[in-house]
Amino acid sequence: MCIMNGARLKDKHCLIVGGTTGLGFAAGRRFLDEGARLVIAGRSVENGAAAVDALGGAGRVQFCSCDAADATQVGLLFEHVIDSLGGLDVVYHVAGISGRRHGDGPLHECTDDGWQATLDANLKSVFLTNRAAVRHFLDRRRPGAILNMASVLAFAPSPRYFDTYAYSATKGGIIAMSKEAAARYAPDKIRINVIAPGLIDTPMAARACADDVIRTFLRTKQPLANGPGQPEDCADAAVFLCSDEARFVTGTVLTIDGGWCVSEGQFV
């Protein structure tokens, strides 16, 4: 069955964790364009209110404040989403941090605090939201779709400019966890996939995107864009993987990198 653009997520109950800025916000806009019933979650109430206004108001999308690394808050989030939407079909986990300001960096410089803060925000949070989603789908005996956000740095490192050890470890962990769960729950018709972007122009990537030397490097490392990608590049892919068009797809890692993984990248 071919589903026309504009209705690929029609009447699907969707949750985007980390949907208030950057990649999550862009996905939220596309989900709504495709007919989704949507809740976005994030830690900042201020960012949540701004995102709801930008996406068309509370009549179109709801916001729920949540620290996805806190099991109690994740439980309350899912209760709220299921109650307010009348169910749940799709969970897209985008939330995460770079870890750099907490002390993440090269292995010999990465601090204990930087390691733990990055693992909690990036890996523990995915474990908690994915577990809650799978439990819901199993309890309701309904199919469901989970999409997680990784990074090309999990398998295509570029240490001269992007040497954050804990961050790369968490993104590799997300891929491993997603594949394990995809294999386990495929018989239950629960699909679990991963997006692995290159460098995308978002608030979290502001440091790199503002650095002239890094932007010069990206012209040859991500030649399809001659620089950073745009959030919409990932949002379009997310719509596909969360829709019934991807009904035969699970356990995949979709690289959206402008050529990062197949390009050497030239240094100044």
Give the DSSP per-residue string, 175-242. Answer: HHHHHHHHHHHGGGTEEEEEEEE--B-SGGGHHHHT-HHHHHHHHHHSTTTTS-B-HHHHHHHHHHHH
Q: How are beta strands 253-256 and 190-197 bridged, if at all?
A: parallel
pLDDT by residue (tens digit) across 32-74?
Answer: 999 999 999 999 999 999 999 999 999 999 999 999 999 999 9
Cβ-contact 72, 29 below 8 angstroms? no
- Indicate the fold that domain 13-202+231-255 takes in CATH: Rossmann fold (3.40.50)
pLDDT tens for each residue of 235-247? 999 999 999 999 9
- Give domain limits for the chain: 13-202+231-255
222 pLDDT exceeds 60?
Answer: yes
pLDDT over 50 at 3, yes or no: no
Question: pLDDT tens, 82-111?
Answer: 999 999 999 999 999 999 999 999 999 999
Q: Which residues are catalytic?
A: 167
Give one DSSP letter per residue of 103-155, joined into a string: T--STTT--HHHHHHHIIIIIIHHHHHHHHHHHHHHHHT--EEEEEE--GGGT
pTM, rounded to two decimals: 0.95
Task: Give the CA distances from residue 137 to residues 12, 78, 108, 189, in Å, rounded to whole numbers and listed in that order.
Answer: 14, 12, 42, 9
Six-digit token string for 95: 């939330």
Percent of the chain at pLDDT exceeding 70:
98
